[in-house]
A and B are shown apart, each in its own frame.
Chain A
């Protein structure tokens, strides 16, 4: 019963490098989300996906790319990392809102990836 996992858990990279953060969920949830969390800002939505091959921008999408070829995976790519992208990144998933037993679509979070861009 793995739930939702993220890898790597910690990553140090350099400015300009491409970095991909992985997210995998075993519940077959329709929705998946990527957030970043910084001091003073709380959780900010980067991208989300309502289903395989359907993605949409959140509040802070610039500099990030996502894909969702399979329901269970939702990788986040920093095309050219910048220092301002140093943050903690959380992936989350939820069932379709309104689905019976879904607690009205609340989100389950992965353990997070701590990214440092030098």
Chain B
């Protein structure tokens, strides 16, 4: 089982739609959680951190469920420019220090 698992998609949605991605992680010692966005042939960029209380940044809402070990990202009112791959990222504190684990990503296509 992968340490961080995501549905690879692709998700094909029309402009204005609401879309949700889920991500599950296997290590209960995971401490920090992030969503990154990666455009085609570009580097990953931080989209938002994920806090236990849930957090919102404009049209984006991230949720963390520690009991079920999953993270979600909700995008409301999708724009064409939201088309990208979304990476779920988990940081774990182990005996060797922090380890950052990236999910393989979920591809989103927003169409006019």
Query: Which A residues fall within an 8 A CB radius of B?
Result: 33, 35, 40-43, 45, 50, 56, 88, 90, 97, 103-112
Q: Mark B93-106, 1 if CB is under 8 A from A, else 0.
A: 00011101011110
Contact of A105 among B44, B45, B91 (CB under 8 A): B91
A105 — which chain B residues lie within 8 A by C-beta?
32, 91, 98
Interface residues on B, range: 20 to 34
Q: Which of A35, A40, A56, A109 has the most CB of B within 10 A?
A: A109
B46 — which chain A residues lie within 8 A by C-beta?
103, 106, 108
Query: Which B residues fall within an 8 A CB radius of A?
Result: 31-32, 34, 41-46, 49, 87, 89, 91, 96-98, 100, 102-105
Contact of A43 among B41, B44, B45, B91 (CB under 8 A): B44
Contacting pair A106 B34 (CB below 8 A): yes
Q: Which 4 A-B pairs have the closest CB atoms?
A: A42-B104, A109-B43, A43-B102, A104-B32
B104 — which chain A residues lie within 8 A by C-beta?
40-42
Contacting pair A42 B98 (CB below 8 A): no
Contacting pair A42 B97 (CB below 8 A): no
Rounded to whole angstroms, the CA-CA distance of A42 and B42 in the bound complex is 13
Contacting pair B100 A107 (CB below 8 A): yes
Contacting pair B32 A109 (CB below 8 A): no
B43 — which chain A residues lie within 8 A by C-beta?
90, 109-112
